[in-house]
């Protein structure tokens, strides 16, 4: 009797332990789309544009040539004028860097990309410069492993118009060209700041600088259009989700009609340097 019960228990546990895995096909279709990305800055004489295709997710990796656009053309429209793109095929995508003229803050630019799949287009308005005041609270700590530099930057928007703001702080040594970009402590989305509004962000650098002389913190002040902000925020969350398990899926922002990608603009409108020691 005891043996019988023991046998039953063992059989049950064998079944219990049978966590199964199997590959399934949920009939997710591959939808080939044009992917166009354009980044244009105020005062820049360059427009950086990239054109590629989406490729299938499931199954064997596609041959490289599926990523090539066939007979792609690109056009930038500005105040009724049109400038054609000349593409270089680099690796698995087409990249174009053109210099029609310096982009002007407040002006609208439209980009149209045409391929054998059709056309995609997107528009951006170059953001106006902003007036920002920045306050710094800096601290450095020597941990058992390495020094940690912490900068709390409080910035207030003084301009009369709401804007998407991004600070880019880097640590610099007086006697060298060494730059250590400070990493935002955690994910902090690029938010729309209202006039008079203040935001505090903490930045941390954990590399050893071995600085014998002065240490400076240089803050670049960047304002972006809404498309750039949404693209940036999505990029941040996707990048974070790639390294952290259990992340919620992220929907990428796109302002390209009939395709995916982004036409985004920015304005690097100033910098402030803090002498730390």
CB of residue 75 vs another protein: minimum separation in angstroms? 18
Pairing mode of beta strands 198-205, 147-157: antiparallel
Using CB under 8 A, count the residues that bind another protein: 89
Is residue 48 part of the contact set for another protein (CB under 8 A)? Answer: yes
Kindly write out the interface string for residues 110-139 of this chain, putting x where it contacts another protein by CB under 8 A and - elsewhere: ------------------------------
CB of residue 213 vs another protein: minimum separation in angstroms? 25
The only residue of 2, 21, 142, 275 in contact with another protein, by rule CB under 8 A: 21
- Phi then psi for residue 83, to 5 deg, are -125, 125
Contacts of 53 (CB under 8 A, 6+ apart): 32, 33, 34, 35, 66, 67, 69, 117
DSSP letter string over 120-160? Answer: EEEEEEPPPP--EEEEEEEEEEE-SSSEEEEEEEEEEE-SS
HEC string for 197-238? CEEEEEEEECCCCCCCCCEEEEEEEEEECHHHHHHHHHHHHH
Q: Which is nearer to another protein, 32 or 212 (by Cβ)?
A: 32
Is residue 85 part of the contact set for another protein (CB under 8 A)? Answer: no
Geometric angle at alpha carbon 43, from 253 and 97, rounded to 5°: 65
- Phi then psi for residue 59, to 5 deg, are 95, -175
Q: Give the pair of three-digit tokens for residue 261.
A: 């990608």
The only residue of 77, 83, 140, 206 in contact with another protein, by rule CB under 8 A: 206
Q: Which is nearer to another protein, 6 or 175 (by Cβ)?
A: 6
The only residue of 53, 87, 109, 164 in contact with another protein, by rule CB under 8 A: 53
Is residue 80 part of the contact set for another protein (CB under 8 A)? Answer: no
**Contacting range for another protein; rule: CB under 8 A; set: 113-121, 127-135, 154-162, 248-256:** 248-256
Is residue 249 part of the contact set for another protein (CB under 8 A)? Answer: yes
Question: Which residues within the stretch 254-273 sit at the binding site for another protein (CB under 8 A)?
Answer: 260-261, 264, 266
- Phi then psi for residue 238, to 5 deg, are -65, -45
Is residue 187 part of the contact set for another protein (CB under 8 A)? Answer: yes
**Contacting range for another protein; rule: CB under 8 A; set: 68-76, 81-89, 123-131, 233-241:** 233-241
Is residue 39 part of the contact set for another protein (CB under 8 A)? Answer: yes
């Amino acid at each position: 009797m005891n043996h019988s019960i023991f046998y039953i228990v063992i059989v049950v546990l064998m079944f219990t332990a049978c966590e199964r895995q199997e590959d399934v096909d949920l009939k997710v279709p591959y939808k080939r789309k044009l992917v166009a990305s354009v980044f244009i800055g105020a005062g820049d004489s360059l427009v950086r544009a990239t054109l590629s295709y989406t490729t299938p997710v499931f199954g064997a990796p596609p041959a490289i040539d599926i990523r090539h656009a066939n007979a792609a053309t690109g056009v930038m429209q500005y105040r009724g004028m049109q400038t054609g793109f000349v593409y270089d095929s680099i690796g698995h995508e087409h990249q174009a860097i053109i210099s029609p003229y310096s982009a002007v803050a407040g002006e609208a630019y439209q980009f149209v990309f045409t391929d054998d799949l059709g056309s995609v287009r997107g528009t951006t308005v170059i953001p106006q410069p902003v007036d920002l005041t920045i306050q710094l609270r800096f601290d450095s700590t020597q941990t058992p492993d390495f020094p940690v530099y912490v900068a709390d930057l409080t910035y207030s928007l003084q301009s009369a118009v709401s804007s998407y703001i991004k600070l880019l702080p880097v640590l610099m040594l007086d006697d060298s060209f060494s730059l250590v970009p400070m990493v935002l402590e955690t994910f902090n989305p690029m938010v729309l700041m209202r006039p008079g509004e203040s935001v505090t962000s903490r930045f941390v650098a954990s590399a050893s600088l071995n600085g014998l002389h002065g240490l400076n913190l240089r803050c670049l002040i960047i304002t972006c259009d809404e498309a750039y902000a949404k693209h940036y925020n999505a990029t941040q969350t996707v990048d974070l989700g790639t390294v952290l398990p259990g992340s919620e899926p992220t929907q990428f922002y796109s302002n390209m009609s009939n395709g995916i990608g982004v036409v985004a603009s920015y304005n690097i409108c100033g910098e402030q340097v803090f002498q730390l020691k």
